């Protein structure tokens, strides 16, 4: 049976998909949320690829934010993938400068820690990631964010999966992490484009809508 593979973005973890997984379960859809190590793109791609390979034929792979870069590489060449969904995600050519695509506010809010990782200022994070959420929910999410290690390896020379697999792009028009203009430009690569008046993280406040979209393709 086809399964859904969910890939989170930078600073997050598999936990961010909990509400969507619950909604998918109600719809009778099996989903796996990948826990990326956030130790560089190659390591993240390897983790996602293992989950995608284990999924059934006709599976749907969803990437949020940085997770879009991950699924573009992780799903490449795998015959069991039927659909890619980019949720306010990077959908670019391999090796593109995705840092140039983030908002100025997010760029200015990234701070280094003593261990050499990079975090997002917890004061700025709620407005950047969870603008539609109530303060308590946003605070809960921010408390679970973890450091990101910048990739120091060489480029991964793989043709992105969206060039051979049908893709849907969800543009989030109230996004303060990836500007709407950048999203719309990337969405030109997709077969289907949907616009939602949401913040960067609709899996938090609109999990049913996210699940219903995914279920269309299973």
Query: Where would I find the H helices in the chain?
Result: 18-26, 41-54, 67-74, 104-109, 125-129, 135-143, 180-187, 202-205, 207-215
Q: What is the 8-class DSSP label of residue 177?
A: S
> How many Cβ atoms sit within 10 Å of the Cβ of residue 27?
13
> How many Cβ atoms sit within 10 Å of the Cβ of residue 197?
11
CA-to-CA distance for 128 and 79, rounded, in angstroms? 36
Q: Let me know if 103 is a catalytic residue.
A: no
> Are 194 and 121 spatial neighbours (Cβ–Cβ below 8 Å)?
no
CA-to-CA distance for 107 and 182, rounded, in angstroms? 15
- Alpha-carbon Rg for the chain, nearest whole angstrom, is 16
Q: Collapse the DSSP code of 47 into the 3-class scheme (helix H, G, I; strand E, B; otherwise coil) and give the result.
A: helix
**Catalytic residue chosen out of the listed positions 59, 65, 69, 72:** 65
Sign of the Cα torsion 181, 184, 188, 190 reads positive
> 147 to each of 101, 113, 114, how far by Cα in Å?
20, 8, 11
Active site residues: 65
């Amino acid at each position: 049976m086809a399964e859904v593979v969910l890939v989170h973005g930078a600073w997050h973890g598999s936990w961010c998909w909990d509400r969507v997984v619950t909604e998918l379960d109600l719809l009778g859809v099996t989903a796996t949320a990948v826990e990326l190590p956030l130790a560089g793109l190659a390591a993240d791609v390897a983790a996602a690829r293992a989950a995608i390979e284990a999924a059934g034929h006709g599976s749907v792979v969803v990437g949020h934010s940085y997770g879009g870069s991950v699924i573009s590489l992780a799903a490449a060449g795998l015959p069991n993938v039927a659909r890619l969904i980019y949720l306010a995600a990077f959908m670019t050519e391999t090796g593109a400068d995705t840092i140039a695509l983030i908002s100025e506010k997010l760029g200015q809010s990234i701070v280094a820690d003593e261990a050499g990782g990079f975090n997002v200022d917890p004061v700025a994070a709620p407005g950047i990631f969870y603008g539609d959420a109530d303060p308590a929910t946003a605070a809960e999410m921010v408390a679970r964010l973890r450091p990101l290690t910048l990739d120091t390896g060489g480029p991964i020379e793989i043709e992105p999966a969206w060039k051979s697999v049908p893709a849907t792009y969800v543009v989030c028009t109230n996004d303060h992490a990836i500007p709407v203009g950048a999203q719309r430009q990337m969405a030109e690569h997709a077969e289907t484009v949907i616009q939602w008046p949401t913040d960067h993280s609709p899996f938090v406040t609109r999990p049913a809508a996210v699940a219903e979209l995914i279920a269309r393709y299973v």
